[in-house]
Amino acid sequence: LSLLIVHAGCDEHEHTYEDGEEVVLWMNTVGPYHNRQETYEYFSLPFCRGPKTTIGHYHETLGEALLGGELEFSGLDIDFKGDVTKTEYCQVELTEEKYQAFVYAVKSHYWYQMYIDDLPIWGIVGEIDEGGDGFYIWTHKKFDIGQNSKQIVDVNLTSESKVKLEPNVK
């Protein structure tokens, strides 16, 4: 008689945080609003990455693997229950190529998806003015992260600072 004991170790991801603990903002996809199956990596558009280059841990869950998502670290430094004032962390010079990429995204009504603590967040890249010849992008993202005790319970995104796209301008 033989006895086989199998211990399955798994990461439960309890979604609980201590004050000041790292919270990771994951960038997922970007694509046209009117065709949700057409998606690209978030950083396929010339968006800025945050200054932070590493995170404390990342364990892809089975669900993430099965969905085929390619989450990319945003580079933003977010702490649980941390209050951050509006901060500029980068500038992009709009070369002709980058300008055309953003104009195409705005004309095609591109939206993007991000995640904080497995909660999805959606936002729109930009908008066209009423005359149809001016293209704008939102350059600031404000996150309101709701918590209950040690858990994140909701995330709201407000896009701010609408800037007109012009080639060869920062």
Per residue in 85-114, pLDDT (tens digit) is: 888 888 889 999 999 999 999 999 999 999
Q: If 0-12 CB within 10 Å is exposed, 13-18 middle and 19+ buried, where does residue 20 land?
A: exposed
Q: Give 131's DSSP letter.
A: T
114 three-state secondary structure: strand
Residue 90 has a pLDDT of 85
Residue 2 has a pLDDT of 47
The model's pTM is 0.81
Q: Residue 118: which of 41, 59, 37 has the closest Cα? A: 59
Question: The tokens of 35 are what?
Answer: 């065709």
Rg of the chain in Å (alpha carbons): 19
